[in-house]
Chains A and B, each alone.
Chain A
Amino acid sequence: MHSRNAARCITRRLAAESPLACSFRRSLATEAQSIPESSTASSALSTAPVRSKRPPRPQISTAVVLNRSPLLTRTPSPFENAYYAYQARIRRALHNPFPYDFYFKQGSLLETRFNMEEKAREWKAFGRDFVEEEFVSEEKAAADKAAVEQLAQQEGEGEELLPRQHEADATGNRKSLDRQGKRNLYLLLQASENGKDVWRFPQGGVEKGDLLHQAAQKDLYAECGEHMDSWIVSRNPIGVYKPQQPSASAGEAQPEHAVFFFKGHILAGQVRPQGPAIKDFAWLTKQEIEPLVEKDYWEGIKDVLSDY
Chain B
Amino acid sequence: MRNAVVGSAKAARSVTRFGRAPPVTKNLRKDPRSGLPQPHVPIITRQYAPCRLEDYYYSTLQDDLMYLTYKHQSGDRPPPRQIRLTFDPNDPYSKFRHNPPVGGSQIGKKPAPPSTPENVVRLEKISLHTMVKEAVANRSSLLPAIMQLRALTGETHQGGGRHAVEGIQIVKGKKSVGGWIRPGIPIGVKVDLKGQAMYDFLGTLVEFVLPRLRDFNGVILPPQSSSTTSPSAVSGVVSFGLPPSAMVFFPQIEVNVDSYPKTYGMHIHFVTNATGQGAQDRARALVSGFQIPFLRR
If A184-B59, A236-B72 touch, whether A126 touches B21 (CB-CB below 8 Å) is yes
B47 touches A234 (CB 8 A): no
Contacts of A130 in B (CB 8 A): 20-21
Residues of A within 8 A of B45 (CB): 87, 90-91, 94
Which residues on the B side are within 8 Å of A234 (C-beta)?
A: 64, 67-68, 70
Q: Which B residues are in CB contact (< 8 Å) with A82?
A: 15-16
Q: Are A81 and B18 in contact (CB under 8 A)?
A: no
B98 within 8 A of A: no
B130 CB, nearest partner CB in chain A, Å: 19
Residues in chain A near residue B20, CB distance under 8 A: 127, 129-130
- At the interface, yes or no: B160 with Cβ under 8 Å from chain A? yes
Question: Bound complex: CA of A12 vs CA of B41, how far in Å?
Answer: 60
Using CB atoms, name the residue of chain A closest to B47. A87
Chain B residue with the shortest CB-CB distance to A237: B67
Residues of A contacting B46 in the complex (Cβ-Cβ under 8 angstroms): 87
Among the stretches A66-74, A167-175, A249-257, A283-291, the one at the interface with B is A66-74
Cα-based distance from A306 to B63 in the complex (angstroms): 9
- Number of B residues whose C-beta is below 8 Å from A? 38
Within the complex, what minimum Cβ distance (angstroms) separates B9 from chain A?
16
Least CB distance from A304 to B in Å reads 9
Q: Report if B224 contacts A (CB, 8 A).
A: no
- A263 to B65, alpha carbons, bound, how many Å? 11
B6 within 8 A of A: no
* Cβ–Cβ contact A263 & B67, under 8 A: yes
Partner among B16, B43, B259 whose Cβ is within 8 Å of the Cβ of A90: B43
**A-B interface contact total, Cβ < 8 Å:** 95
Q: Which residue of chain B has the shortest Cβ distance to A263 in the bound complex? A: B67
Contacts of B1 in A (CB 8 A): none
**Chain A's nearest CB lies how many Å from the CB of B7?**
16
CB contacts (< 8 Å) of A135 on chain B: these are none
Chain B: minimal CB distance from A148 (Å)? 17
Whether A85 contacts B16 by the Cβ 8 Å rule is yes
A94–B63 alpha-carbon span in the complex (Å): 38
Taking CB atoms, residues of chain A closer than 8 Å to B161 are: 94
Q: How far in angstroms is the closest Cβ of chain A from B145?
A: 15
- A102 CA to B15 CA in the complex, in Å? 35
Q: Is B52 an interface residue (CB 8 A)?
A: yes
- A233 CB within 8 Å of chain B: yes
Contact B255 A103 (CB under 8 A): yes
Any B CB within 8 A of the CB of A210: no
Interface assignment of A124: CB less than 8 Å from any CB of chain B: yes
Nearest CB of A to B285, in Å: 11
User: Which residues in chain B, 1-35, are within 8 Å of chain A measured between CB atoms?
Assistant: 15-21
A146 at the interface (CB under 8 A from B): no
Nearest A residue to B258 via CB reads A105
Beyond A96-B156, A306-B59, is A233–B67 a contact (Cβ under 8 Å)?
A: yes
B50 near A73: Cβ-Cβ < 8 Å: yes
- What residue of chain A has the Cβ atom nearest to residue B61's Cβ? A69
Q: Determine the chain A residues whose CB is within 8 A of the CB of B147 once the complex forms.
A: 102
For A113, list chain B residues within 8 Å (CB): none
The reply on B49 being an interface residue by CB < 8 A is yes
Q: Indicate whether A125 reaches chain B with its CB closer than 8 angstroms.
A: yes
Q: Are A103 and B256 in contact (CB under 8 A)?
A: yes
Distance in Å: Cβ of B143 to nearest Cβ of chain A: 12
Report the bound CA distance from A167 to B49 in whole Å: 28
Tell me if A228 is interfacial: C-beta within 8 Å of chain B: no
Q: Which of A113-158 contact B (CB under 8 A)?
A: 124-127, 129-130
Residue of A nearest to B63 (CB): A306
CA of A88 to CA of B56, assembled, Å: 22
**Cβ A73 vs Cβ B52 within 8 A:** yes
B73 near A16 with CB under 8 A, answer yes
State whether A78 and B72 are in contact (beta carbons under 8 Å apart), knowing that A70-B59, A103-B256, A263-B63 are contacts in the complex.
no
For B159, what are the chain A residues with a Cβ–Cβ distance below 8 Å? Answer: 96
Q: Which of A74, A84, A127 contacts B48 (CB 8 A)?
A: A84
User: Nearest residue in B to A92 (C-beta to C-beta)?
Assistant: B48
Q: Which of A102, A126, A306 contacts B256 (CB 8 A)?
A: A102
Interface residues, chain B, with chain A CB atoms under 8 Å away: 15-21, 43, 45-50, 52, 55-56, 58-60, 63-64, 67-68, 70-75, 147, 156, 159-161, 255-256, 259
What are 15 A-B pairs with beta-carbon distances under 8 A? A16-B71, A69-B59, A73-B50, A76-B50, A78-B15, A81-B15, A82-B16, A84-B49, A96-B159, A130-B21, A236-B72, A263-B63, A263-B67, A265-B64, A308-B59
- Given A78-B15, A80-B50, 10 more contacts at CB 8 Å? A14-B72, A70-B59, A74-B55, A81-B15, A81-B16, A103-B259, A124-B17, A130-B21, A263-B64, A308-B59
